[in-house]
């Protein structure tokens, strides 16, 4: 069963206010054997609001229905079948932790290890920012301490990407070890380039987008921060200045992004643990221009006596969501 995503331009639901589309800009929907289904969606983290599920018995073609009820524009077909997720890759609409954990097959021991590593990286960067301002000139600053952070952060990037490749049973191209020629294939699969990381207390800092220019034809040098790591790791005397603050921030940001794509951003922005507190104190995490065709759309199951009129309800709390089918991660 295929679903569609679209942009909402009006709200035409009987006995309902007329402005939901203003805050819930996106729509996701499909048709079952008996009903049309619509979920509202936000722009912030592209949350799919199952609490604002709209259904109505089928009396007209689905596309005509979403145009009539929601003023649907920019209609596109979603890639995955309704009710499917991909192992190890978080996408909206998974929001509740148990649903995320179970339907991505998350290993909580591995998750905890990644959180410990990320906490160390964030604390080291926070200490450096006590002494160096991330201004235009400050971002060019380099030192042994910054170099150490850059090397550690890039090593953790490799570790996280390697874990995803292993999950996909992917064999390295050179048959011995993974390189950026292998890692770059995850950019389109994990949607790494959809995230940007800002520094909360530095309004003049341009948000870091560490994966935005990752090029499969030049997978090492197109990541400037990773290339800086390679240079300063192998030839510090010549490339010491490559280990600058900008590269270190980008490398830490890359770790945050990979964590979000594996376990969701909500653990970092909603929890009350030490790591979450550090992240919220220092960083802003945003998803920008996400590919809504890649989102996970829940499959609903209705009893035979389901109402036929158009109405709004909470499909998740009313236990209408069927169990997700988990597809393997394929590179």
Q: Are the C-beta atoms of 38 and 70 separated by less than 8 Å?
A: yes
The percentage of residues in the chain with a pLDDT greater than 70, rounded to a whole number, is 100
- Whether the pLDDT of residue 33 is over 90: the answer is yes
Half-sphere exposure of 254 (CA within 13 A, CB side): 31
Report pLDDT for 318: 80
Q: Work out the mean pLDDT of the chain and round it to a whole number.
A: 95
C-alpha 24/C-alpha 2 separation (Å) is 22
Coil, helix or strand for 36? Answer: strand
Report pLDDT for 319: 82
Report pLDDT for 191: 97
- Whether the pLDDT of residue 176 is over 90: the answer is no
- Whether the pLDDT of residue 285 is over 90: the answer is yes
Report pLDDT for 37: 98
Per-residue pLDDT reduced to its tens digit, 229-244: 999 998 998 989 999 9
What is residue 138's DSSP assignment? G
* Overall average pLDDT of the 37-63 stretch: 96
* Overall average pLDDT of the 95-122 stretch: 95
pLDDT band at 316 (very low <50, low <70, confident <90, very high): confident
pLDDT band at 317 (very low <50, low <70, confident <90, very high): confident
What is residue 95's DSSP assignment? -
Report pLDDT for 175: 78
- Whether the pLDDT of residue 45 is over 90: the answer is yes
Q: Are the C-beta atoms of 244 and 142 separated by less than 8 Å?
A: yes
Q: Are the C-beta atoms of 211 and 187 separated by less than 8 Å?
A: yes
Distances from the Cα of 198 to the Cαs of 141, 150, 205, 256, 291, in angstroms?
19, 18, 7, 11, 21
pLDDT band at 160 (very low <50, low <70, confident <90, very high): very high
**pTM score, whole prediction:** 0.95
Per-residue pLDDT reduced to its tens digit, 319-329: 888 999 999 99
Q: Are the C-beta atoms of 219 and 227 separated by less than 8 Å?
A: no
Report pLDDT for 93: 86
* Overall average pLDDT of the 131-137 stretch: 96
């Amino acid at each position: 069963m295929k679903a569609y995503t679209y942009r909402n331009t009006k709200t035409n639901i009987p006995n309902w206010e007329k402005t939901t589309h203003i805050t819930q800009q996106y729509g996701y929907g499909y048709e079952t054997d008996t009903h049309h289904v619509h979920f509202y969606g936000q722009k912030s983290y592209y949350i799919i609001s199952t609490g604002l599920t709209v259904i109505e018995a089928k009396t007209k073609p689905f596309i005509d229905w979403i145009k009539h009820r929601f003023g649907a524009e920019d209609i596109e077909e979603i890639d995955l079948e309704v009710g499917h997720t991909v192992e190890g890759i978080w996408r909206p609409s998974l929001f509740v932790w148990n649903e995320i954990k179970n339907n991505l097959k998350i290993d909580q021991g591995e998750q905890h290890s990644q959180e410990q590593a990320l906490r160390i990286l964030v604390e080291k960067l926070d200490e450096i920012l006590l002494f160096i301002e991330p201004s235009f000139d400050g971002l060019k600053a380099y030192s042994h301490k910054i170099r150490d952070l850059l090397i550690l952060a890039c090593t953790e990037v490799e570790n996280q990407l390697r874990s995803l490749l292993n999950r996909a049973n992917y064999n390295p191209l050179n048959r011995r070890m993974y390189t950026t020629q292998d890692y770059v294939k995850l950019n389109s699969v994990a949607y790494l380039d959809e995230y940007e990381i800002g520094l909360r207390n530095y309004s003049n800092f341009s948000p870091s987008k560490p994966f935005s220019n990752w090029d499969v034809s030049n997978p090492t040098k197109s990541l400037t921060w990773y290339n800086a790591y390679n240079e300063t790791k192998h030839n510090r005397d010549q490339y010491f200045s490559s280990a600058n603050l900008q590269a270190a921030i980008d490398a830490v940001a890359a770790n945050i992004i990979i964590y979000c794509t594996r376990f969701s951003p909500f653990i970092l922005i909603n929890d009350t643990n030490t790591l979450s507190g550090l992240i919220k104190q220092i960083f802003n995490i945003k998803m920008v221009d996400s590919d809504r065709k890649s989102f996970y759309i829940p499959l609903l199951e209705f009893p035979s006596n389901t109402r036929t009129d158009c109405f709004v309800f909470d499909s998740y709390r009313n236990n209408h969501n069927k169990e997700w089918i988990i597809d393997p991660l394929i590179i």
